[in-house]
Chain A
């Protein structure tokens, strides 16, 4: 076992995949110069052809990844910060997500798009997006949202090995501490949720940066005699709804904590699906803890409370327990 931070786990995953498969290459702004810290020594180890700095031209290099994938390469595109994807949205939506379908299965599109969700960093509305749900509305993209160092390493490796486009939405600020990670290689299959804490009273489905907060809530409420089960979908598309429904069947109560904006959030999808298919197991109304439908403000006095914090999640857990007890 080694203690790795979220960033170090990403580095480990990328290094292993670059070493394993010569078709894999990384491409993005300042990757060779290691601006964010994901690629230390990569340029020397793998060469600048495979650790490829790009101009600030997202549509161009994301689209180039599509073409490279069509001819047998397995590009890993580093968007640096998630909203930079919008500059390349035509390439992502109209080419990358659709090519396999549009051309009747003649081509696979083995592309990994890595995008950091840097919310909570005082970088205001244009840099703080969490576009998990936005992307989930586009068929043809697989989407992972690893919350922990362990998960990001295993899911990123699965993403690189997958024959379809996978967007890896990373929230390194959501898991600020290092974590023990096996030294042996492992891959986490796409589409498998994990029950990160077992509990009996309330299910909290927590997404991305809400996972760490939900685990903290579970730990603190245990002292009050409340048993919280924390389920992390880990993969947004395809969503492992079976694990979520099984948890709700056990606890009878559901809180969904998700840093997306509330409208059509991942939390909305989880809530709707549980309402459709798990309604008779519910003992109280479902509660969503999301980011309200306002932009992310710059001021540190305004921003932090907008996300699913431990306090907001805990309040929602108390709320669903109270709602049940008044019946």
Chain B
């Protein structure tokens, strides 16, 4: 997309830091799976896509994600202690225990809420971009969605709206090869989602989703175009989730071969980026280890914060139904 988007050394390190943070966050969640109520969908293996895209945004830009909801807000800069607390349904959770693992958010850093109905966040992000345009501000809205969501009508409606209204939106399809347990190739009419951009007269690019710098470059180009009034873009990151659709490692999945998982693990985004930082002399091995240790410590502290936090009081079930509850007179 022709924009000079070379990340600075500090950005390259921050990318590594955030990828490590997501990986440790999700590993901690899986290790403590029995402590966490409800469903847990991890994005282990997809960190470069999460981080490369979010690092192309400003903190005051908007981001909307999916039910696979841990990596996106962490990549956008959300505090992990409140995210862990949300996983446990604690009152200190970012949503005060109302959302859980599928609905992490942090509006203070532009993370407008992950949404667990596949494809439902696409119009939300489109609307956030519309809000920016109407307000005359230069905030961009980025929407993550999976290859599965590209089969929903909201995909078409959102990209069409963004195109006809020239909205500052960036649509990032994280194509992890499976929608739940169905292969992408069995549910999509074309071999690449990016090809569909042509239908909306917007740029569409495919990028190696395991390479955080490549993702960053592609998304930064799309963000620059959106911010300058050029309109929306579609970026498809080719990536992979190591664990099951929900929960942890799969013993004998019916829909994919575990050899395929092992193949993808050979291009794990964390060591890939680590090697680059070493090779380019950005950080020494010792400095990289320090980043790992730092993040491990802060993830442990955040998990402890969540464990030690109280549950909400029963009355909380009735709070936030409305912002302004109307006090209706009661006769009884």
Contacts and interface: CB of A to CB of B under 8 A. Distances in A.
Contacts of A69: 127, 131
Contacts of B133: 49
B124 A63 contact: yes
Contact of B98 (A61, A102, A190): A102
Interface in A95-118: 95, 99-109
A227 to B, nearest CB: 22
A276 B332 CA distance: 10
Contact of B324 (A94, A106, A163): A163
A156 to B, nearest CB: 16
B143 to A, nearest CB: 9
B168 to A, nearest CB: 11
B103 A103 contact: yes
Given A73-B131, A104-B98, A245 B164 contact: no
A90 B124 contact: no
B63 to A, nearest CB: 11
Given A104-B94, A238-B326, A67 B127 contact: yes
B161 A60 contact: yes
Contact of A64 (B108, B127, B323, B330): B127
B117 to A, nearest CB: 5
A94 B123 contact: no
A278 B330 CA distance: 12
Contacts of A278: 331
B331 A164 contact: no
Contact of A60 (B129, B132, B154): B154
B120 A90 contact: yes
Nearest to A191: B326
A245 B321 contact: no
A301 to B, nearest CB: 38
Contacts of B319: 105
Contacts of B107: 70, 103, 106-107
B53 to A, nearest CB: 18
Contacts of A70: 107, 112-113, 124, 127-128, 131
A252 B327 CA distance: 26
Contacts of A68: 127-128, 130-131, 134
Given A72-B131, A109-B323, A59 B154 contact: yes
A67 B135 contact: no
Interface in B288-305: none
Interface string A55-96: 101011111111111111101000000000000001100110
B115 A95 contact: yes
Given A95-B115, A245-B331, A64 B95 contact: no
B134 A73 contact: yes
A139 interface: yes
Contacts of A172: none
B171 to A, nearest CB: 13
A140 interface: yes
Contacts of B113: 70, 99, 102-103, 106-107
B320 A105 contact: yes
Interface residues of B, number: 56
Interface residues of A, number: 58
A175 interface: no
Nearest to B123: A63
A254 to B, nearest CB: 14
B126 A60 contact: yes
B87 interface: no
Contacts of B93: 104
B127 A90 contact: no
Contact of A50 (B103, B127, B134): B134
A91 B120 contact: yes
Contacts of B115: 94-95
A242 interface: yes
Interface string A211-252: 000000000000000000000000100111111011000000
Contacts of A101: 98, 320-321
Interface of B: 62, 64, 93-99, 103, 105-108, 112-113, 115, 117, 120, 122-135, 139, 141, 153-154, 157-158, 160-161, 164, 319-332
Given A64-B127, A66-B123, 17 more contacts: A49-B134, A55-B157, A64-B161, A67-B124, A67-B130, A67-B141, A70-B112, A100-B320, A100-B323, A102-B98, A105-B319, A106-B105, A106-B108, A163-B323, A238-B326, A238-B328, A278-B331
Q: Which 7 A-B pairs have the closest CB atoms?
A: A63-B123, A67-B127, A60-B157, A64-B127, A104-B96, A104-B95, A71-B131
Interface of A: 25, 49-50, 54-55, 57, 59-73, 75, 90-91, 94-95, 99-109, 139-140, 142, 162-164, 189-191, 235, 238-243, 245-246, 276-278
9 contacts: A64-B161, A70-B124, A71-B62, A103-B99, A104-B94, A142-B322, A163-B323, A191-B326, A238-B328
